[in-house]
Amino acid sequence: MSVLKESSLYEESLKPLREASAILNLESNVVEAIANPERVLIVSIPVKMDNGKVKTFTGYRVQHNTARGPAKGGIRYHPSVCLDEVKSLAFWMSIKNAVVGIPYGGGKGGITCNPKEMSQNELERLTRGYAAAIAKFVGPDIDIPAPDVGTNAQIMGWFADEYYKITGKYEPGIITSKPLSIGGSVGREPATGRGGFFVTIEAAKTFDIPLKGARVSIQGYGNVAQPIAQYLYEIGCKIVAVSDSVGGAYNPDGMHPLKLAEHKEKTRSVKGFPGSKEISTTDPLTIDCDILVPAALENQITKENADKIKAKLMVELANGPTTPEADKILQEKGVIVLPDVLASAGGVTVSYFEWVQNRMGYYWTEEEVDDKLKRVMTTAFKEVYQTAKQYCLDTSFRVHTKAHQLNLRTATYILAVKRIYEAMKALGRI
C-alpha cells in the first residue's frame, strides 16, 4: 500500500504538489517519488516522571526528501502530534527549503505530549530520551533538527548535549536555534517573523497595498507573531486584534505590540489586555482588517470560515493554516495569500546561517545576518512572482491556465517542485 493512502491529512497537504506537478506535466511516478517520505521513524521513549512512575511517550522523526541536502526541520511537543501531522510538516519543509534556495531537504519531528503539564526536569529527561532514540539517524550532514511548537532553545541545548555524549563528538551543527552560548546565531529568535515582514513589504509594493495605517490582525501571538507585529507597528501599521490559545484582544484604534507581549508574559495570555475588547481565539481570522497573519496551528482557515475573511493580504506564518478548499474560496474573493512555505521561511533560513557559522567556526554580526535574511526572502518572493507571471496571462493569479487557477501558492509549489525534481534527476533517483 502506498504511504500516501494512509491518511487524508497527508493527502490534503499534497494537493498543492499535485496541482503544481500537473502544470509542470510531471509523470505520475515522478510525483509519487517526490511525495513519499524517504524515512519514517517511530520511537518509544520511557521517562521517569517526578512522581516516580514511568510514562512511555511516542516520538517521530520523518525525513521527507534529501535530494537537495540534509533533512531540516523542527521538533514539536504537543498533544496533537501524530505521524500524519509530522509527515505533512516534513513535506512542507522540503518545499519551504527549496523555495528560498537553501541546500536542505525536508524533515520534521515530534513527541505526543503536553509540555505545559510537565516540569523542566521531566522535559529534559524526555528530550534526552528522544535524542538517544534517534541519534543514529541525525547529524550535521544527515538531518538537522530545530525548535517548533512546544520546544525552545533550552530543549535544543539538552538534545545537543545528549547527542555529544552518544557520539563522542562536539558538533554544534547537529541542531539549530541553540542558545548563543553554545553556538546559536544572533537574529535567530525573531527570524520567522522578520522573514515574514520582508515578504510582506515586497508584496505590499507589488500589489500596491498601503502599509501606513494598515490594520493588522494576528492569530497566535507567540514567538513567531510578536516580532512581525513589532516590525509592522514600527512602519505605521495598527495591530487591531491578537489572540492565543486562551483568548484574544481587540481594539480598532490599535495596540502596542511590546505591551501586548508584556501582558502575555505576566498573565500567560493576551486576553484582558487593558483597553481592549475580549474576543475568542479564532476571531482575529474574520475581523475587518487589511493584513491577516495566521500564526497558530494548521487547518485554522477552512471552507466554513474562509468566506468571512476580510483581509486584502494574508501572511501565513503558521504551518498549513489554510485548507485547500479554503484556499479556493480566498482566491475567488481576491485575497492575496503569501503561503506558509514562503512567508514563514525566515526561521529555517537563519537556522541555515547558524549551521554554516557552526561549520566555519566563525560568527556573523546581527546586521550581517539581517542583511542576508532580507536578501534571501526578497529574492524568493520575486522568484515566486516571476514564476506566477510565467504560468499565467496577468498578475491577478486568477487566470485559468490548463484548467488550473494559478495563485501565489501554486506558483510557490511550481518553483519548489522544479528544484526538487531537478536535484532528484541529477542524482539519478528518478
Please give the domain boundaries of the chain with CATH numbers for all domains. 37-171 (3.40.50.10860), 191-338 (3.40.50.720)
Helices (H), 113-176: 120-134, 153-167
Count CA atoms within 13 Å of residue 233 on its CB side. 20
Q: Which residues are catalytic?
A: 108
Distance CA 430, CA 20 (A): 18
pLDDT band at 406 (very low <50, low <70, confident <90, very high): low
Q: Pairing mode, if any, of strands 248-255 and 277-279?
A: antiparallel
Q: Which three cell numbers stand for residue 210?
A: 498601503
pTM over 0.85: yes
Instruction: Return the pLDDT at 315.
Output: 98
The residue among 373, 404, 359 whose CA lies nearest residue 70 is 359
CB contact burial 137-152 (16+ within 10 A = b; e otherwise): ebbbeebbbbbbbbbb
Q: Give per-residue pLDDT as tens, 246-265.
A: 999 999 999 999 999 999 99
Task: Judge whether 286 and 262 are in contact, CB under 8 Å.
Answer: no
The maximal CA–CA distance of the chain, rounded, in angstroms, is: 66
Three-state DSSP class for 389? Answer: helix
Q: Which three cell numbers stand for residue 240?
A: 487591531
What amino acid occupies position 356?
V
Residue 227 has pLDDT above 60, yes or no: yes
Instruction: Return the pLDDT at 120.
Output: 98
- Long-range pairs, 119-123, Cβ under 8 A, ≥24: 119/50, 121/50, 122/47, 122/49, 122/50, 123/77, 123/155
What amino acid occupies position 293?
V
Three-state DSSP class for 262? Answer: helix
Instruction: Return the pLDDT at 389.
Output: 87
Task: Judge whether 173 and 359 are in contact, CB under 8 Å.
Answer: yes
Cα-to-chain-centroid distance, residue 388: 22
Instruction: Return the pLDDT at 393.
Output: 43
pLDDT band at 9 (very low <50, low <70, confident <90, very high): confident
Percent of the chain with pLDDT over 70: 95
pLDDT band at 149 (very low <50, low <70, confident <90, very high): confident
Percent of the chain with pLDDT over 90: 88
Q: Give per-residue pLDDT as tens, 10-66.
A: 888 899 999 999 999 999 999 999 999 999 999 999 999 999 999 999 999 999 999
Residue-by-residue DSSP string for 195-252: HHHHHHHHHHHHTT---TT-EEEEE--STTHHHHHHHHHHTT-EEEEEE-SS-EEEEE
The Cα-based distances of 244 to 112, 251, 304, 360 in angstroms read 21, 16, 20, 39
Radius of gyration of the chain (CA): 21
Segments of 84-145 assigned E as strands: 105-112, 143-144
Q: Which three cell numbers stand for residue 96?
A: 519551504
pLDDT band at 319 (very low <50, low <70, confident <90, very high): confident
Q: Pairing mode, if any, of strands 400-401 and 404-405?
A: antiparallel
Residue 5 has pLDDT above 50, yes or no: no
Tell me how many degrees the CA angle 104-186-240 measures, rounded to the nearest 5: 90
Q: Which three cell numbers stand for residue 422?
A: 531537478
Rounded to an integer, the average pLDDT of 277-298 is 94
Rounded to an integer, the average pLDDT of 343-359 is 97
Instruction: Return the pLDDT at 392.
Output: 61
The residue among 277, 311, 279, 278 whose CA lies nearest residue 294 is 311
